[in-house]
Amino acid sequence: MLLSLMIFIPLLGMVAVLLLPRESEELIKRATLLFTLIPLALAVYLFIAYDRSTAGTQYVVNVPWIEAFNIQYHIGIDGLSVTLLLLTALLGPICVIASWRNIEKGIKAYMALFLLLETGMLGFFAALDLFLFYVFFELTLLPMYFLIGVWGGPRREYAAIKFFLYTLFGSVLMLVAMIAVYLNSGDPGARTFDIPTLIALASTAGHALNDLNFQIWVFLGFFIGFAVKVPIFPFHTWLPDAHVEAPTAISVILAGILLKMGTYGLVRINMAMFPQGLDHFTNGVGFWGNSLALLGFINIVYGSFCALAQTDFKKLVAYSSIGHMGFVILGLAARNDSGITGAILQMFNHGVISAMLFLLVGVLYDRAHHREINGFGGLGSRMPIYTGITTLAFMASLGLPGLSGFVGEALSLLGAYDKFKMLTILSTIGIVVGAAYFLWTLQRVFLGTLNPKYEELPEINGREILTLVPLGILTIVLGVWPNFAIDMFRESVTNLIDVLNAI
Amino acid sequence: MQPLSNIESLLYFSPEILLVIFAAAVIILDLVVKDRESVAVAYLSLVGCLCTFAAVLFTHFSFGDEGPVSLFLGMIRLDVFSSFFKVLLLLATAATILFSLRSEELDARLKGEYYALLLAITFGMFLMASSTNLLMIFISLETVSLTSYILAGFLTHSPRSSEAAFKYITYGAVASGTMLFGLSLLFGMAGTGDLAQISGRLTELLAAGEIAPLAVLIAITFVLAGVGYKIASVPFHMWSPDVYEGAPIPITAFLSVASKSAGFALFIRFFYAGFGSTELMQAVDWPFMLAIVSALTMTVGNLAALPQQNVKRLLAYSSIAHGGYLLMGGVLLTSQGVGAILFYLVVYLFMNLGAFYVVVLIANEVGSEMVEGYRGLSSRAPLVAWAMVIFLVSLAGIPPFAGFFGKWILFTAVLEQGYYWLALVGLLNSVVSLYYYARIVKAMFFEDAGEETTNVSFSTGTFALLSVFVIPTIFIGFINIFYTFSNISVSVIPMQ
Amino acid sequence: MIVPLISIILLCPLAAFAVFGLFSLANRRFPRQDYLSTVAMLAALVCSFLLLREVVPTPEPHTVNWISLGGVTFSMGFYLDSVTVIMLIVVTLVSSLVHIFSMGYMHGDPRYPRFFAYLSLFSFSMLFLVVSDNLLGIYIGWELVGLCSYLLIGFWFEKDSAANACKKAFLTTRVGDVGMFIGMMMLFTKFQTLSLYGEGGIFAQAAAQLSTADMVWLSIAGVLIFCGAIGKSAQMPLHTWLPDAMEGPTPVSALIHAATMVAAGVYLTARMFPILTETSSLVIAYVGGITAIIAATIAIVRFDIKRVLAYSTISQLGYMMLAIGAGSYVAGLFHLTTHAFFKALLFLGSGSVIHAFHAMHAHAHDDEHEHAHEHEHGDHDAPGHEHGEDSDSGHILGSEIPPDQDMRNMGGLRRKMPITFVTMLIATLSISGVPFIFSGFWSKDKILAGVLERAMEWNSVHHYLLFVMTLLAAGITAFYMFRLIFMTFFGEPRNQEMHEMAHESPLSMTVPLIVLAILSFPVVNTLWFNKDYVKPPPQPHLHAPQHAYLAPDSKTGGQSVALSLFGVSEAVAAEEEGGHDTHADDGHHGHGPAHTIAMVLSIIVAGSGIFLSWLFYHRRTLSAESVATTFRPIYNLFWHKYYFDEFYDGVLVALTVWKSRLFAQFDGSVVDGIVNGVGTVTRDILAAFVGIFDNRVVDGLVNRVAQVTWAIGGKVRRIQTGAIQTYLFVVLAGIVLLILIFRAL
Amino acid sequence: MTLQHYLVISAILFTFGIFAVLTRRNAISILMGIELILNSCNLNFAAFSRFMTPPEDISGQIIAIFGIVLAAAEAAVFLAIILAIYREFGSIRPDEVDTLKG
């Protein structure tokens, strides 16, 4: 019930916002903030109240929905989802605050769409029915399309439709795979979309879902769907465009949550449901046995080098996201304790850190109205606080120990080395290049003599700091005390590994 | 159950009779009412629809337990399948009447004929949905066609409209002639006009080697030409973009929804009852033929829609593509497949009519059917713009709108039969389709209107009618009852 | 008591950073922040001394679970042995002194509070690194000190050279760190833990499980871990960042780039001592040896006082690496501590000199400048040609020497700055290896002896070669260090204007100098002479050519010869003997002659180095240029009697200079060039290529698909000609085609 | 006269009709072609009814009669539309009526 409340309160908020008159902008903003703060409060409560000692799903709601297809409204949380729910709920209000001043037109529609988006994201992470999962997955598409397309930058139309088509392309393949799973889950009438049931069936010897060939194909279907979202090379080109054009808060959501939907899906569906399919792509034998790790490696190195080549601040951060998601893929491919835990941590951490980075880019853009890295210089003496926070975020992102980015990256690599020695060693190039582009950016923007154009640039203001502080604190806390997050999903990961080892 | 005699049948023929009566009444009323601007005839037609609806319910429920029944010595059949389509068609007719009321295209002087023809075409479609005899099938088809030709050319002073009518009738006449030739071959081979018997006879004769499979193939292909023309499937689709573009918008909407629905009713009944036996399918693999036609149809429809600038024409191609999706369900010979078609038709009715209604509104207010005309609509008429978004996104098949659920059960049915390639083609097509729907959305939301930024205001009635389409488009997918349509198909699918 | 004490040691600087860091971020000053930070460091120092008593012979790590996964646990913890304690003391001591020094040196800097916050963070990170019992903890501390180094080198980030230098430092060390991380991955995969000590630790597991078949693997792992040290300790070929790091404030150079952080590499290598194999040992030793020589030769031709010291640091670190690689564990660490003190002293002394010059700047400019090192070039400088000839051109970064660091502007300062002079002289004597009363002699001698011993014992050509390298480096060190002293403090002032303004530094700066000077005498390093206090861990994987097992460096008995000869410390000598006895049964013989030879050679080498230096830079009160022009033929002949100067000028100096220049060139253009080149190639070409690839190919492919789809759409729509008879033809064609196709099926 | 004769004639009629529809450049000729097609069908129905079904079953002939009726209706509508076309385009050449395309 609590969970349902959390998911649908933003939807309720959307209705409420739509009913408010268009002129009362302050009211609309406050209402939106309220409707995003409530889920945050609930998420924090769930995070605290969640029983960490078990791998089972909790706060389960399971009611029939479309009986003809045995579709249920089945939601619940395990350690992984509660963590990501917290992240989603946290970024909600932060993004509302970040949008407070810089959305000039159509604030009502913006906020309404944002709330719809939040419902989609929250629902996605809580769904335990494959169909529901898919519906929530797609539910985020439309608001995102509008949020980029209407409130975005100069090439927003291109970016928005690109995002939309890419994701849709991936998700139709996922739809085919999903239907195939459904059809093979039993005799007519006994078929199900229930994820836990399907997981159990898929590991039952002799069941149609347990067939290796079937699992490979279905794995691929789901994988492409999620790969577009992650994004995994070569499905990534929508990401830089979308990021560059999207308004700040939407970039934050895009990088912070939407990318996580892809990796979450990989864990929840691809790994848990198709262990044999996963095995085929990660057993380290031959090309296919290394393919997933190879993709992770390509993502890391490719994303990092692309980031190095960028001169647009936001594009740089966008490409860095591609690189960082590569660590998630690599960690997942390792499918051992440290690999998976590292990947999940990296998901969460990347959500926090990239959110910070995009917020920071937004702060600068709001002041200077451009993002050309070479166009700045010496801001460190003009905006010390901003510089400090940016340095923190950069350092966290380039994997400095003591900050959260390190733990995920290190665990992923440690886990991956166990299986994919050469690829992991090559992936460490990403660590160096990652440091290179962040430091180079730091130098070009903040160090050196102050560009005379920006002598009057105002320092970051209180509202902006407010959006960054919680994320900064999380970055430090998780870097110092990773068990804080790992406690939540340790059992779930153990459980998952048991499933993977059972084949 | 024995077919009812002619006299006995009359009572159960009451919906059709009512339609004819009201059609006549409309003409008479039109003669009586002097005021050319009066909307009385339109409301009378609506009342006619309402009465017919009541009659449909009455006839349906009076046979609730006794199962399907044949009327007029087996000419037409009264079953849940036909009742379903009758309700659907009435909804479409009523909506078209309401559109026509709001449309400023139509010539006010010819209103009487217009509404009478609408009721007449509905009558023909009723027959299409329930015919079980070759004769009835042909007559109903021709009734619908002839009235459609007239309605398509109803804008007497518009060259586009006349051209549409000309192409429509030329095309339609050849197509239905071809079909009639096919029907004659069928009749000759089976020696009967009764669909139910044709299947059995053909099977026997094929087994006995008395007729060549080629003859059956030719007959089926010729019949397909007629049916395909009605549902606008490739390669029999070419009339539809031109006709849809030239015809008055309400008629375009009506043709794209009602005519297509009736076509599918006929198609399902004909192919399932007439050629549904396993042996026949072994001789002539018509399901596979349909699968290819279906794949071609959606692909051609979607690809050709991509560069369109006229929204009506774009929607015409879109509706061709949707015909392709629907045909997928027809390939399967399963109750799921038919159920999926029926479900999709319901969904399609709402979303497509809704989209056309917006086209009507914009044509009235902006005077343009082109995509450019939709620029900046989001700020000038946000509600209409958002409604259009919902229709288009639903047409593209994106959750949580009804269009997604429609596609979902279609694809499930297709995949269940192992037609993976077909499902994949369909799904990739729906990705392509998003692109051209998004162009309209883009014009509405991402582009500015230019200097003319006057807000467009619409009456409450407009919004009420709009919500009639919006609400089902959002919610149909969430309602369980709509997923029971596969039960309806039992009456048309032969026991195997 | 161990855990609370270590916690206090760590928390003091951490708390200082946490509190003051936030204030300083906004450039606000917390009242008395500098004093509070210093007090925090002093508290840590006191606790470190208290820990001396807590060391037990076989310590156990004190751990907590940091990351606990289902199957694996990563723990964090403290490991306290004698080396840890000594390192703690060194770090806290130098840090405290640098804190005090900075109060004077950094006074008036606009980011003064931030400087102290950074120092506190650095101290914390360094201490954390030192006390960690596991590789992960060490790595964390490792990277954090790197961050602090980055922040502090770039402290005056308005200077482009500083901005470049800090980036370069971070990136270069990170290359090494990646190697270290790969090594960690290898160890983790093998042992499923990153803890070093304790029962389940890497050392115990390695000793128990590994066979000779694993030696190649273990060697690779060892070398990879050592890669971290290569980066951090600025060894060949990753040493180029350290001279550039001199862009940071001088106290930072003293603390981070001389005494502590760069020594962390040595510390790490020492920590990994138990898993070193003969191959990895040899690699370490050679890297160290080559670094020592190259850096020393480069140092000869520097004119920037800080860069001379920077190259000296590199050279000395190479020395320590060589020692550990050659198995002289104790000697390497001993040299680490002595070096920490005297090198910190040298840097602080140079800071004092620079400050003296800088203060004049500040007065002359009426505090107009934003901070200390923003100089307008021609203002107070000697004529520009000196800079034009600057042999520092090897440095790509910061190729212009700030005038207040240029030794050619100095000279004769000993009267102006007596305290600075005396203390620096002590340090120089110590680093040069002047016998017996300076700590540097002892530690250096121990290294020489250790290397020679191993060479004799194993009869190993490698180790003989290494011994020669060590010796050579020692000589050059003495030469260039005295050159520095002579040029700076002796002779006539070369820049009269600057000289007149120079003055002795304030108390806050001279006191640390004095303290460090005291620490440069061997008395305070007695712990190292206690064989029982610092013992090398066993090396189960080191298989000597003749001996199955060998406890390296167990024999430093030669020490006793020297000690008894010069009567420095009988007590220490006795302890040495005791230590000798305990290891006598290790089958280790013949130490006596090795030590004697080493000591004699070392004294000779150091002496000649100093002598040559004296000849060059003190005797020659005239400048080298005027010698060539003003000497008359008779005078020349006079000189020819000796043929010493000519020899030097004509041959040796030319050779040396040429060689050094070659090295400098090599360093500047080749190594730096490769590093920069790789950077440029990577950054500009590869990244640009990847960027273009991404835009053109990957994205282009997608766009192409879209275009093709669109184009097909255009074609399909063209079929729709508008002519009804075409349509009808399509119908007929369609029917015929369908029939034909299915006829065939 | 056997069934085959009728069928051949009807097939020829049908083919002529199709040919006319495809090639004539006059709307009236097209209409005539359509009539040929429809009449070939009617001939088929009548012939089949005569040869293939019991004598008392005259459903084929009935269909043929309906076919004639519908053909007449169709012709009427067609002619009306041709009139409209002539009014709007000034021509009844089908290839000139091609404003709607693409």
A469-502 pLDDT, tens digit each: 999 999 999 888 888 888 888 888 888 888 888 8
Asked if B241 and B152 touch (Cβ cutoff 8 Å), the reply is no
The whole-angstrom separation of Cα C409 and Cα A228 is: 64
- pLDDT score of C525: 64
Residues of C in contact with D101 (CB under 8 A): 720-723
Q: Which of B463-467, C18-22, C568-572 has the highest mean pLDDT?
A: B463-467
d(CA C115, CA C160): 19
The whole-number pLDDT of residue C103 equals 84
* C651: DSSP letter: I
Interface of C with B (CB under 8 A): 706, 709-710, 712-714, 716-717, 719-720, 722, 724, 726-728, 730-731, 733-735, 737-739, 741-743, 745
pLDDT for the residue numbered A222:
93
Answer whether D73 sits within 8 Å of B187, measured CB to CB.
no
Nearest to C354 by CA among C229, C257, C248: C248
Answer whether A310's CB lies under 8 Å from A316's CB: yes
Under DSSP, is residue C623 helix (H, G, I), strand (E, B) or coil? coil
The β-bridge partners of C67 are C74
Nearest to C431 by CA among C419, C441, C422: C441
Q: What integer is the mean pLDDT of C374-387?
A: 35
Residues C190 and C217: their CA atoms lie apart, in Å, by: 10
Smallest CA–CA separation between C676 and chain D, in Å? 60
Q: Is B216 exposed, middle or buried (0-12, 13-18, 19+ CB in 10 A)?
A: buried
**Count of other CB atoms within 10 angstroms of residue A42:** 20
- pLDDT value at residue C690: 64
Q: What is the pLDDT of residue C689?
A: 66
Res. C21 pLDDT band, cuts 50 70 90: confident
* Position D29 in a domain: yes
Q: Which of A21-35, B482-496, C434-448, C708-722 has the lowest mean pLDDT?
A: B482-496
Q: B167 pLDDT exceeds 80?
A: yes
List the single best residue of A65, A157, A165, A220 to mutate versus B (max B Cβ within 10 A): A157
Long-range contacts of C633-636 (CB under 8 A, 24+ apart): none
Interface probe for C, chosen from A244, A322, A432, A444 (most Cβ of C below 10 Å), is A432
Buried b (16+ CB within 10 A) or exposed e, B298-337: bbbbbbbbbbbebbbbbbbbbbbbbbbbbbbbbbbbbbbb
Per-residue pLDDT, C643: 37
pLDDT at C649 over 50: no
Interchain CB contact of B308 with C (< 8 Å):
yes
Q: What is the mean pLDDT of chain A?
A: 88
- Is C567 a residue whose pLDDT tops 60? no
Q: What is the pLDDT of residue A134?
A: 92
What would the pLDDT profile of A47-60 be if each residue is shown by its tens digit?
Answer: 888 888 887 888 89
Task: Give per-residue pLDDT as tens, C504-543.
Answer: 777 778 888 888 888 877 766 666 666 667 777 777 777 6
Residue D101 lies in a domain: no
Would you call B306 an interface residue with chain A, using a CB distance cutoff of 8 Å? Answer: no
In the numeric block, the tokens 């004799």 are attached to: C456
| Chain D closest-CA separation from residue B377 CA (Å) | 26
Higher pLDDT, residue C705 or C577: C705
pLDDT surpassing 60 at residue C682: no
Please state, for a pLDDT cut of 90, what percent of chain A lies above it.
30
A180 touches chain B (CB under 8 A): yes
Instruction: Find chain A residues with C-beta within 8 A of C166's C-beta.
Output: 447
Q: Do chains D and A touch (3 or more CB pairs under 8 A)?
A: no
What residues contact C617, with CB distance under 8 A and at least 6 apart? Answer: C482, C483, C486, C487, C490, C491
Residues of C in contact with D95 (CB under 8 A): 723, 725
How many alpha carbons lie under 13 Å from residue A88 in its C-beta half-sphere? Answer: 32
Residues 6+ apart with CB under 8 A from C253: C245, C246, C306, C309, C310, C347, C351
Chain C residues with CB inside 8 Å of B308's CB?
717
% of chain C exceeding 70 in pLDDT: 72
d(C-alpha D72, C-alpha C111), whole Å: 101
CA–CA min distance B436, chain D (Å)? 15
C723 interfacial to chain D (CB closer than 8 Å) = yes
Question: Scanning every residue of chain A, which has its alpha carbon at the shortest distance from the alpha carbon of B484?
Answer: A68
Is position D102 within any domain? Answer: no
pLDDT for residue C360 is more than 80: no
pLDDT band at C562 (very low <50, low <70, confident <90, very high): very low
Q: Is the pLDDT of residue C647 over 80?
A: no
Residues of B in Cβ contact (< 8 Å) with D87: 162
Residue of B nearest to A187 (CA): B416
What residues in C contact D99, CB-CB < 8 Å?
Answer: 722
Q: Read off the pLDDT of residues A15-45 as tens digits, 9 standing for 90 and up.
A: 999 888 888 888 999 999 999 999 999 999 9
For residue C729, what are its two tokens? 């033809």
pLDDT at C385: 34
Range of the domain at D34: 3-96
Identify all chain A residues contacting B423, using CB atoms and an 8 Å cutoff.
176, 179
| CB contact set of B467 (below 8 Å; sequence gap of 6+) | none
Q: Which parts of A48-107 are beta strand (E)?
A: 58-66, 71-77
**Secondary structure class of B103 (helix, strand, coil):** coil
A158-196 pLDDT tens trace = 888 888 888 888 888 899 899 889 988 888 878 889 998
Q: Is B159–D99 a contact, with Cβ atoms under 8 angstroms apart?
A: yes
Residues 397-436 of chain B with CB under 8 A from chain A are 398-400, 404, 408-409, 411-412, 415-416, 420, 423-424, 427-428, 430-431, 434-435
Instruction: Name the band, by pLDDT with cuts 50, 70 and 90, for residue C655.
Output: very low
Q: Which residues of B touch D (CB under 8 A)?
A: 134-135, 138-139, 142, 146, 149-150, 153, 156-160, 162-167, 169-170, 173-174, 177-178, 180-181, 183-185, 187-189, 191-193, 241-242, 245-246, 308, 313
> Which range is least confidently modeled, B65-79, C278-292, D56-70?
B65-79
Q: What is the pLDDT of residues C95-132, one digit of tens each?
A: 888 888 888 788 777 788 888 888 888 999 999 988 88
Nearest-Cα distance to chain B for C695, in Å, is 21
Q: Is residue D33's pLDDT more than 90?
A: yes
Instruction: Give C627's pLDDT tier (boundaries 50, 70, 90).
Output: very low
Average pLDDT of the residues in B273-295: 85
Considering only CB atoms, A164 lies closest to which of B408, B423, B434, namely: B434
* A401 cis-preceded (ω within 30 degrees of 0): no
Residue C65 belongs to what H/E stretch? strand C62-68
pLDDT digits (tens, 9 = 90+) for C239-253: 777 888 888 888 888
Whether the predicted pLDDT of C584 surpasses 70 = no
Is residue C659 over pLDDT 70? no
Lowest mean pLDDT among C46-50, C88-92, C161-165: C161-165
Summarize pLDDT for A226-242 with one digit per residue, the tens.
999 888 877 888 888 88
Position C615 pLDDT exceeds 80 = no
Interface contact A172-B434, CB threshold 8 A? no
Neighbours of C46 (CB within 10 A): 16
Phi and psi angles of residue A60, each rounded to the nearest 5 degrees, phi first: -80, 135
CB contact under 8 A, C728 and D99: no
- The shortest C-alpha distance from C452 to chain A (Å) reads 38
Instruction: Please say if the pLDDT value at position C640 is more than 50.
Output: no
Cβ atoms of residues B159 and B186 within 8 Å: no
Is D57 domain-assigned?
Answer: yes
* Chain B contact set for A172 (CB, 8 A): 427-428, 430-431
Q: Which residue would you say has higher pLDDT here, A455 or B293?
A: B293
Q: How close B75 gets to chain C, by Cα (Å)?
A: 29
DSSP state of C402: P
Q: In the structure encoding, which two tokens stand for residue C451, read together?
A: 């290397």
- Amino acid residing at A332: L
Of C113, C172, C123, C163, the C-alpha closest to C144 is C123
**Contacts of residue C724 in chain D, CB cutoff 8 Å?**
94, 97-98
**Residues 6 or more apart whose Cβ sits within 8 Å of residue B204:** none
A166 vs C contacts (CB less than 8 Å) = 702
What CATH code is carried by the domain that includes residue D42?
1.10.287.3510
**Helix-strand-coil split of chain A, %, nearest 5:** 75, 5, 20
In 3D space, the residue among C148, C169, C328, C141 whose CA is nearest the CA of residue C233 turns out to be: C169
In the structure encoding, which two tokens stand for residue C331, read together?
A: 């000697």
**What pLDDT does B461 receive?**
83
Tell me whether residue D75 is in a domain.
yes
pLDDT digits (tens, 9 = 90+) for C684-699: 666 566 666 666 666 7
Number of domains in chain D: 1
Provide the number of CB pairs (under 8 Å) joining chain B to chain D: 129
pLDDT for the residue B123: 94
Give the gap in angstroms from C-alpha C737 to the nearest C-alpha of chain D. 16
pLDDT of residue C745: 65
Given a cut of 50, is residue C231 above it in pLDDT?
A: yes
DSSP string for A243-306: HHHS-HHHHHHIIIIIHHHHHHHIIIIIIHH-HHHHHHHHSSSHHHHHHHHHHHHHHHHHHHHH
Report how far residue B390's alpha carbon sits from residue B402's, in angstroms, rounded to the nearest whole number: 10
Q: Rounded CA gap, D39 and D32, in Å?
A: 10
Q: Is the dihedral of CA C346, C347, C348, C351 positive or negative?
A: positive
Q: What is the pLDDT of residue C582?
A: 38
Three-state DSSP class for residue A230: coil
Tokens of C502: 């120079």
Q: Which of A129, A158, A172 to mutate to test the interface with B (most CBs of B within 10 A)?
A: A172
User: What is the rounded average pLDDT of the residues A378-403?
Assistant: 87
Distance CA C624, CA C617 (A): 9
Query: What residues in C contact A406, CB-CB < 8 Å?
Result: 140, 143
The reply to whether ipTM tops 0.85 is no
- Per the CB < 8 A criterion, the answer to whether A61 and A474 are in contact is no
